[in-house]
Amino acid sequence: MADFVYRNGVFFDGSGADPVLSDLAVKDGRIAAVGPHLEVDPDTVEIDCRGLWLMPGLLDIHTHLDLEVELAPELPEVVRHGTTTVVMSNCSIGVAYGHQRREGEDPIVDCFARVENMPKPVLRRVADACTWTDSQGYLDHLESLPLGPNVVPMIPHSMLRIEVMGLNGSVAGPPAPQELDRMEQLLEAGMAQGYAGFSTDALPFHFLANAPNKKKRIPTQYAGFRELARLTEIVRRHGRVWQATPAKDDILAAVRSFMLTSGRLYGRPLRTTVLAALDLQTSRSAMHLCLLLSSILNSRLFKGMLRFQALSSSFRIWSDGAINPLADEIPAFRALNERELEDRDGRMRILNDPAWVASFRKMWLGGKGGWSVDRLRRHLRCEKIVLSRRLDDMVVAECPLPHWVGESLEAPYRRLLAFQAANGRFPHARDAEAGFFSGFPDPIGDDAAFLLHLLREWDTDLRWETTIANRNPATLGRLLFHDQTLPGFNDSGAHLANIGFYDGNLRTLKIAQRDGLRQVARAVHRLTGLPADFFGIHAGLARVGAQADLCVIDPVALERWNPEETYHFVHRSQLGCRQVVNRPCGVVRSVMIGGKIVWAGDRYADAFGTRAYGRVMRAKDHPLERQLYGP
């Protein structure tokens, strides 16, 4: 007898095949039958899917949910968006080896706080929970949790280095020969235990957060090519995935490292997924260079297997004063970001330091006037930094003057100029604004001085947003369906107050919807079967015998949904902090994980958060996976 039957759904199986009108039956946690007019017993729970899309549960392949899973293992924001499987431990950081606290070091806090903009109190609570001491212990721990979705952990390189060299040693230089040997042994053990891959990072603005190492990058970035080649050879031999980021300021180093994917050079292709193919507002060439490099490495000449991840959304970020996910890219902002979040006095000392002010002004005004190479690069959208440095790109989200909310900072800047030109008698300035304007240097001079004064006066009470990439919908659509990309890079579980892309998979479906059901089938494949095959896990296909991870989408609600209007901020009591979320109403009708309904209508199952629905997914060639699903 079937436990559930989905009736009359527009069914996408995850393979990319055209959808069909079909029923689907579930028994004992697995898909038992697919086809029209399935006969079931009267006790079977029927789910009416007329006019709805029925598809495999979606995959989120770039997350940092290994933090949240320790505090809220049901991962509610994931599940309500139709995502049933998440890949964790990206960008070289994670908790595979426990808290790793030794000799006063606190690696989880040190590595995550600035790289992923996570509050230190939250990270300390996570570290307190990480009582295991090796990668097998981590898998055992995950299996004890009341998981919401399935979780797919990887071995994180920074933590691997810390485990062998200690935190301070791991940022001091290359390993000794015996240390590299030990890293190989631990990575080999992780692959044998079923970890799906290995993650590294080379982005030059990922720094540690605790003294005395605040000016040092995370440990993975102190690895030379020889270390990287030896470790990825283990990943290659096991047929697992290498997740990487480029050394964006050293193109030759990036190309050399990504050539490790080559089957022709190294005997067998290395599955490689890289962050990220983005249509950056300040660098139009970056996206094209990524796609060109990938196509060359995947050609018959090199026989690689590399895919750049593509964000399914406009890249919209929120900043608290000068603190945002990109602050460490710019040395002037980096100095502010090195201070503790609550250290307003420390930031004020920096903001009033003449040498720092000079460096900030040079950065902010560079290329905006006169004739120079920087001016030409700015005109051609070939700049080296991601922030546009334009007030009209900075929209106020919160500040002490409520009527500024929703305006770009360019608007009050122009009002200030008019106010000062009229000697304070500008009739359009409100009383509170006029009083505030009276405290500005007169004349203000330029937009750099305006922003500096705002930061001095309001610090993190000025919350603003900007969109740094993927503003053009047509370009975004081409990126998401390009044969050199995988939809991903949602960064779920990180940058809690700065970004919110849990809805990334739904955005991909919405973009596809404009071009008909065949394109939707392609989108479903790129969110399910394709990434599951790339990561080598048992997920992503809705076929008889497969684990019953399913979601039901309302296409009418999907078409009606405007993703840019459903962002809001909530207090997550389990995390103890505020978070950006994006919760579309009515789009995801139902979510099943492991043969049990976890989300229906607009609510979670009663046992959600107290019983396990998802499981730890190992690489599908691991013996435990073979026991479940065969070879």
Model confidence pLDDT, tens digit, residues 195-238 = 999 999 999 999 999 999 999 999 999 999 999 999 999 999 99
Task: Say whether pLDDT at 429 is over 70.
Answer: no
The mean predicted confidence, pLDDT, of the chain is 95
Residue 424 has pLDDT above 80, yes or no: no
Asked if residue 47 belongs to a domain, the reply is: no
Domains: count for the chain = 2
- If asked whether residues 415 and 500 sit together in one domain, one would say no
The pair of three-digit structure tokens given for residue 233, joined into one six-digit string: 């050879």
- Backbone dihedral angles phi then psi of residue 84, each to the nearest 5 degrees: -120, -10
In a domain, 337, yes or no: yes
Q: CB burial class (10 A; 0-12, 13-18, 19+) of residue 211?
A: exposed
Q: What does the H/E/C string look like for 266-330?
A: HCCCCEEEEECCCCECCEHHHHHHHHHHHHHHCCCCCCCEEEEEECCCCEEEEEECCECCCHHHC
CA distances 547 to 30, 32, 378, 395, 526, Å, are 4, 10, 51, 45, 19
Q: How many CB atoms lie within 10 A of CB 362?
A: 11
Residue listed under structure tokens 């896990």: 537
Give the model's confidence band at 378: pLDDT under 50 very low, under 70 low, under 90 confident, else very high. Answer: confident
Half-sphere exposure of 606 (CA within 13 A, CB side): 0
Q: Are residue 584 and residue 481 in the same domain, yes or no?
A: yes
Instruction: Specify whether 377 is located in the same domain as 491.
Output: no
pLDDT at 595 over 80: yes
Q: Could you give the CA distance from residue 16 to residue 74 in angstroms, rounded to a whole number?
A: 29
> What's the rounded Cα separation, in Å, for the pair 147 and 73?
5
Give first-to-last CA distance, the chain, whole Å: 27
Q: What is the pLDDT of residue 227?
A: 98
* pLDDT-based confidence at residue 384 (cuts at 50, 70, 90): confident
Structural domain contains residue 267: yes
Residue 488 token pair: 């991903």
The closest alpha carbon to 66, from 119, 129, 133, belongs to 129
- Is 631 a residue whose pLDDT tops 80? no
Do the domain assignments include residue 284? yes
Q: Which of 126, 119, 114, 112 is nearest to 156 (CA)?
A: 112
> 399, 432, 466: which is the final residue of a domain?
466
Residues 287 and 435 in one domain: no
Domain that includes residue 608, residue range: 58-314+470-629
**What percent of the chain is predicted at pLDDT more than 70?**
99
pLDDT of residue 417: 94
Confidence of residue 162 (pLDDT cuts 50, 70, 90): very high
Counts for the chain of helices (H) and strands (E), in that order: 25, 23
Verify that 441 and 474 share a domain, yes or no: no
The answer to whether residue 31 sits within a structural domain is no
Domain assignment present for 212: yes
What pLDDT is attached to residue 284? Answer: 86
**What local confidence, expressed as pLDDT, does residue 457 receive?**
97
Q: What is the pLDDT confidence band of residue 376, given thresholds at 50, 70 and 90?
A: confident
CA distance 11 to 394: 43
Largest CA distance in the chain: 83
Task: Read off the pLDDT of each residue in 502-529 and give the average, rounded to a whole number.
Answer: 97
Whether residue 120 is predicted with pLDDT greater than 90 in this model: the reply is yes
Higher confidence at residue 427 or residue 626?
Answer: 626
Kindly state the percentage of the chain with pLDDT values over 90.
90
Residue 110 predicted with pLDDT over 90: yes
Kindly state the tokens that stand for 600. 């229906």
pLDDT confidence band for 385 (50 / 70 / 90):
confident
SS3 per residue for 588-612: EEEEEECCEEEEECCEECCCECCEC
Q: Is the pLDDT of residue 425 over 80?
A: no
Q: pLDDT for 523-558, tens place per residue?
A: 999 999 999 999 999 999 999 999 999 999 999 999
- The H-or-E segment that residue 189 falls in is helix 177-192
Q: What is the DSSP letter of 4?
A: E
End position of a domain, from candidates 444, 466, 488: 466
Helices (H), 300-430: 331-337, 344-351, 354-365, 373-379, 410-421
Give the β-pairing of 305-310 and 271-275: parallel
Rg of the chain over all Cα atoms, to the nearest angstrom: 25
The answer to whether residues 161 and 288 belong to one domain is: yes
Last residue of a domain, one of 466, 500, 521: 466
Distance between CA 492 and CA 174 in Å, rounded?
A: 31
Strands 305-310 and 485-487 turn out to be parallel
Neighbours of 244 (CB within 10 A): 28
Q: CA 335 to CA 353: how far, in whole Å?
A: 11
Flag whether pLDDT at 373 surpasses 90.
no
Same domain flag for 461 and 474: no
* Domain containing residue 237: CATH number: 3.20.20.140
104-111: long-range contacts (C-beta < 8 A, 24 or more apart)?
Answer: 105/162, 105/166, 105/167, 105/168, 106/210, 107/158, 107/159, 107/162, 107/167, 109/209, 109/210, 110/167, 110/208, 110/209, 110/210, 110/213, 111/158, 111/159, 111/208, 111/209, 111/218, 111/219
Same domain as 280, residue 144: yes
Same domain as 625, residue 553: yes
The answer to whether 321 touches 455, Cβ cutoff 8 Å, is yes
- Is residue 8 domain-resident? no
With 0-12 / 13-18 / 19 or more C-beta atoms within 10 angstroms meaning exposed / middle / buried, residue 567 is middle
Q: Dump pLDDT digits (tens) for 270-304.
A: 999 999 999 999 998 999 999 999 999 999 999 99
pLDDT of residue 327: 85
Identify whether residues 448 and 486 lie together within a single domain. no
Identify whether 56 is preceded by a cis peptide bond (ω within 30 of 0): no
pLDDT value at position 428? 64
Q: What band does 427 get if pLDDT is binned at 50, 70 and 90?
A: low
Same domain? For 432 and 490 the reply is: no
Residue 382 belongs to a domain: yes
Based on the fold, state whether residues 151 and 287 are members of the same structural domain: yes
**pLDDT reported for residue 423:** 85
- Bond prior to 276 in cis (omega within 30° of 0): yes
